[in-house]
């Protein structure tokens, strides 16, 4: 019928870091498949600060020069 469930010993959330997972299927008759190969997921909730290396302007004819730290 397309329904499914999952179980995780750590509750409903994965902690920060790497987690090794395996899966198996159970059909309506109760037959259980063999365990899958292990695959790894990484939970990373820390957002890295962006780095702006260059500023490019698409003005026709080209514009060059420095941008002052006060935005002018």
Among 38-42, 44-48, 52-56, the range scoring the smallest mean pLDDT is 52-56
> What is the Cα–Cα distance from 13 to 11, expressed in whole angstroms?
6
| Distance, first Cα to last Cα, the chain | 63
Q: In the 3-class helix/strand/coil scheme, how is 4-72 assigned residue by residue?
A: CCCCCCCCCCCCCEEEEECCCCECCCCCECCCCCCEEEEECCCCCCCCCCCCCCCCCCCCCCCCCCCCC
pTM (predicted TM-score): 0.51
Q: Note the pLDDT tens digit of each residue in 14-27.
A: 889 999 988 888 88
């Amino acid at each position: 019928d397309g329904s499914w469930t999952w179980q995780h010993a750590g509750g409903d959330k994965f902690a920060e870091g790497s987690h090794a997972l395996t899966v198996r299927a159970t059909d309506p008759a109760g037959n259980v498949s063999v365990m899958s190969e292990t695959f790894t997921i990484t939970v990373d909730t820390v957002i890295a600060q962006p780095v702006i290396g260059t500023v490019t302007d698409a003005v026709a004819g080209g514009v060059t020069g420095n941008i002052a730290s006060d935005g002018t």
